[in-house]
Structure 1
Amino acid sequence: MDKKLSHQIVLLIIIFCNTAFAQNDSTNVSDSIKKEKNIKFNPFPYFSHNKVLGYYYGGGGMLTYRLQKEDTISPRSTTGAFYVRTTNDTWFSVLFTQMYFNEDKWRVIAATGTGLYNFQTYTELPDSEPDFYDYGSRSVMLSAKVYRKVYKKNYLGLGYYYSRTKTRFEEAATDSISNNNSLQMLFLRDTRDNVYYPKKGSKLNAMFTLYPEWMGNVNNFGIFNAYYNRYYGIRNDKDVLAVRAYAKVATSTLDFQRQVVINGIDLRGYTDGKYRGDGKVDVQAEYRWNFLPRIGLVGFGGLGTLYGSEFSEFNGSLYPSGGFGVRYLAIKSTQMRIGLDVARGKDDYAIYFRIGEAF
Structure 2
Amino acid sequence: MSRYSLRAPSSAVKSVSASVLRHCALRASALAVALLLAASYSHAESKFTDPDDGAFDLSNLLLTHRGVLPVPTLITEPAVGYGLGLGLLYFSLPKKSADAPDDSKAPPNITGVGGFATGTHSWGAGLMHFHTWDDDHIRYLGVVGKVGLHLNYYGIQNQPRAYQLDGIAVVQQVLFRIGNSHWYVGPRYTFFDASTRFGPVIPTGIRQFERDQRVAKGGVVVDYDTRDNMFYPSSGTYAELEADLARGGLGSSTNFQEQTARGYQWIPLSKTWVLGLRADTGFSQGNIPFFAQPYVSLRGVSDAKFQDSNQLTAEAEIRWNVTPRWSVLGFGGVGKAYGQLHSFSDAPTAFGFGTGFRYLIARKLGVTMGIDVAHGPGQNAFYVQVGSAWR
TM-score category, normalised to shorter length? 0.7 to 0.9
Decide which moves more: 332-341 or 196-205: 332-341
Q: CA deviation at 1:120?
A: 1.1
Deviations 1:108-130 (A, max 9, x none): 00000001011111246xxxx87
1:190 partner letter:
D
Residues 1:245 and 1:70: Cα distance change in structure 2 (over 3 Å): closer
The residue aligned with 1:45 is 72
The equivalent of 1:205 in structure 2 is 240
Choose which of 6, 17, 20 in structure 2 pairs with 1:6: 17
Question: CA-to-partner distance for each residue in 1:232-274, whole Å, 9 max, x for gaps?
Answer: 11322x23211111110113353212112323xxx22111743
**Is 1:166 the counterpart of 2:195 in the alignment?**
yes
Return the offset for 1:358. 0.7
Preserved CA contact (<8 Å) 1:62 1:81 = yes
Maintained 8 Å contact 1:230/1:242: yes
Which of these residues, 226, 230, 238, is aligned with residue 195 of structure 1?
230
Change (3 A) 1:144 1:51: closer
Distance 1:344 1:253, change over 3 A: farther
Q: Where does the alignment leave 5 or more consecutive residues of structure 2 unmatched?
A: 1-11, 24-58, 203-208
Q: Does residue 139 of the first structure (1) align with residue 170 of the second (2)? A: no
**Counterpart residue type for residue 246 of structure 2:** Y
Taking a change above 3 Å as real, the CA distance of residues 116 and 175 of structure 1, as seen in their structure-2 partners, is: farther
For residue 338 of structure 1, what is the amino acid of its counterpart? M
The Cα shift of 1:198 comes to 1.4
Counterpart of 2:215 (choices 153, 175, 180) is 180
Match of 1:68 among 84, 87, 95: 95
Change (3 A) 1:160 1:211: same
Deviating more after overlay: 249-258 vs 133-142: 249-258
Residues 210 and 224 of structure 1: CA distance in aligned 2, closer, same or farther (over 3 Å): same
Residue from 316, 338, 341 that aligns with 1:285: 316
Q: Is the 8 A contact 1:295 1:329 kept in 2?
A: yes
Conserved in 2, the CA contact under 8 Å of 1:281 and 1:306?
A: yes
CA contact (8 A) 1:38 1:69 kept: no
Greater relative contact order, per chain length (Cα 8 Å cut-off, separation 6+): 2
Partner of 1:119: 151
Alignment match, 1:18: none
Partner of 1:59: 86
1:96 match: 128
In structure 2, relative to structure 1, the CA distance for the partners of 1:52 and 1:7 (3 Å cut) is closer
Matches within 5 A, 1:18-37: 37=64
From the two aligned structures, give the one with the greater strand fraction.
1
Q: CA RMSD in A?
A: 2.7
Q: 1:40 to 1:318 in 2, by over 3 A?
A: same
Q: Pick from 256, 262, 265: which aligns with 1:221?
A: 256
Distance (Å, rounded) in 1 between the aligned partners of 2:111 and 2:86:
14
Shift of residue 316 of structure 1? 4.3
- 1:259 to 2:270 alignment: no
**Which residue matches 1:15?**
none
- Residue 287 of structure 1: how far off its partner (Å): 0.6
Measured against aligned partners, the alpha-carbon deviations of 1:201-226 in whole angstroms (never above 9, x if no partner) come to 10111111111232243443210111
Moved more, 296-305 or 208-217: 208-217
Q: Structure 2 residue aligned with 1:245, among 267, 273, 279?
A: 279
Give the % identical residues: 25
How far off is 1:284 after superposition?
0.7
Q: SS at 1:358's partner residue?
A: coil
- Structure-2 residue corresponding to 1:327: 358
The answer to whether the 8 Å contact 1:271/1:349 transfers is: no
CA distance in 2, matches of 1:296, 1:169: 44
Amino acid of the structure 2 residue aligned with 1:231: W
Aligned residues between the structures: 330
Stretch of structure 1 that moved more, 205-214 or 322-331: 322-331
> Take 2:247 and 2:241, find their aligned partners in 1: how far apart are those partners?
19
